[in-house]
Amino acid sequence: MPANRRGFLKNAAAAAVPVAAAQAAQPSGELHHRLESAIGAMECVDTHEHFYPESVRLKQNPDLFLLASHYLFDDLVCAGMPEESRKILRDPGRPELERWRHFEPYWKSVRLTGYGQALRVAVENLYGITEINASTLPAINSAIRRANRPGLYDDVLQRRAKIRAVLLEPGWRASPLKPDRSYLRLSRQFDRYIMIRNRKEVQELEQATGVSITNLASLKQAVDRNFAESQEMGMVSIKTTLAYHRDLNFHRVDAADAERDLGVLLRGERETGVGRARFENRPFRNLEDHMLRYVVSLADAHNLPVQVHTGTFAGHWNYITNSNPAHLTQLFFDFSNVRFDLFHMSFPYMGELAAITKLFPHVYADFCWTWVLSPAAAQRAMREFIDTVPSNKILGFGGDYWFPELAYAHLLMARRHIAQVMAGLVQERLCTETEAVELARMILHDNAAKLYGV
User: Which listed range, 182-190, 266-274, 327-335, 398-406, lies at the site for Zn ion (CB under 5 A)?
Assistant: 398-406
Nearer to Zn ion, 100 or 343 (CB): 343
Q: Which residues contact 182 (CB under 8 A, 6 or more apart)?
A: none
Give whole-number Cα distances, 242 to 179, 192, 441, in Å: 24, 10, 32
State whether residue 168 is helix, strand or coil: strand
Residue 11 or 374 with smaller CB distance to Zn ion? 374
Closest distance between Zn ion and the C-beta of residue 412, in Å? 19
Q: Closer to Zn ion by CB, 54 or 400: give it.
A: 400
Q: Give alpha helix (H) positions in 278-340.
A: 285-301, 329-334
Stretch that binds Zn ion, among 103-111, 192-200, 229-237, 393-401 (CB under 5 A): 393-401
Give dist(CA 296, CA 286) in Å, integer. 16
Of the pair 366, 400, the CB lying nearest Zn ion is at: 400
For the bound state, the minimum distance from the C-beta of residue 398 to Zn ion, rounded and expressed in Å, comes to: 8
* E strand spans, 338-410: 340-342, 363-366, 394-395
Q: Closest-CB residue for Zn ion?
A: 400
Q: What residues between 217 and 276 interact with Zn ion by CB under 5 A?
A: none
- State how far the Cα of 330 lies from the Cα of 343, in Å rounded to an integer: 18
**In this structure, which amino acid lies at residue 132?**
I
49 versus 63: smaller Cβ distance to Zn ion? 49
In 3D, which of 324, 381, 379 has the Cα closest to residue 354? Answer: 381
**Least distance between Zn ion and beta carbon 3 (Å):** 34
The CB-of-204 to Zn ion minimum distance in angstroms stands at: 22
Number of residues counted as binding Zn ion (CB under 5 A) = 1
Is 372 buried (19+), middle (13-18) or exposed (0-12) by CB count in 10 A? Answer: buried
Residue 418 neighbours by CB distance under 10 Å: 28
- Which residue number, 310 or 388, has a Cβ lying nearer to Zn ion? 310
Q: Interface with Zn ion includes 352 (CB under 5 A)?
A: no
To the nearest whole angstrom, how small is the minimum distance from the Cβ of residue 187 to Zn ion?
10
Query: Least CB distance from residue 408 to Zn ion, whole Å?
Result: 17
Q: Least separation, in Å, of the C-beta of 24 and Zn ion?
A: 30
Each as own residue / partner, the long-range contacts of residues 169-173 (CB below 8 Å, 24 or more positions apart, any chain) are 169/48, 169/49, 169/50, 169/239, 169/307, 170/50, 170/51, 170/52, 171/50
Closer to Zn ion at the Cβ: 119 or 219?
A: 119
Piece of the chain touching Zn ion by CB under 5 A; list 110-118, 315-323, 394-402, 430-438: 394-402
Q: What is the DSSP letter of 453?
A: T
Closest listed residue to residue 347, CA positions, set 318, 329, 370: 370
Q: Could you tell me the CA-to-CA distances from 115 to 36, 311, 383, 403 in Å, in that order?
A: 22, 17, 22, 13
Q: How far is the CB of 343 from Zn ion (least distance, A)?
A: 7
Q: Which is nearer to Zn ion, 288 or 400 (CB)?
A: 400
Given the complex with Zn ion, which of 258 and 353 has the nearer CB atom? Answer: 353
Question: Which stretch in 135-143, 271-279, 400-408, 430-438 sits in contact with Zn ion by CB under 5 A?
Answer: 400-408
Answer for which of 63, 261, 400, 405 binds Zn ion (CB under 5 A) is 400
Nearer to Zn ion among residue 271 and residue 400 (C-beta)? 400
Cβ(366)–Cβ(393) below 8 Å = no
* 191 is a site residue for Zn ion (CB under 5 A): no
Spatial separation of the C-alpha atoms in residues 384 and 366, rounded to whole Å: 14
Shortest CB 259 distance to Zn ion, Å: 32
End-to-end CA distance of the chain: 33
For the chain, how big is the Rg over CA atoms in Å? Answer: 22
Give the shortest CB-29-to-Zn ion separation in angstroms. 37
Applying CB under 5 A, the residues found at the interface with Zn ion are 400
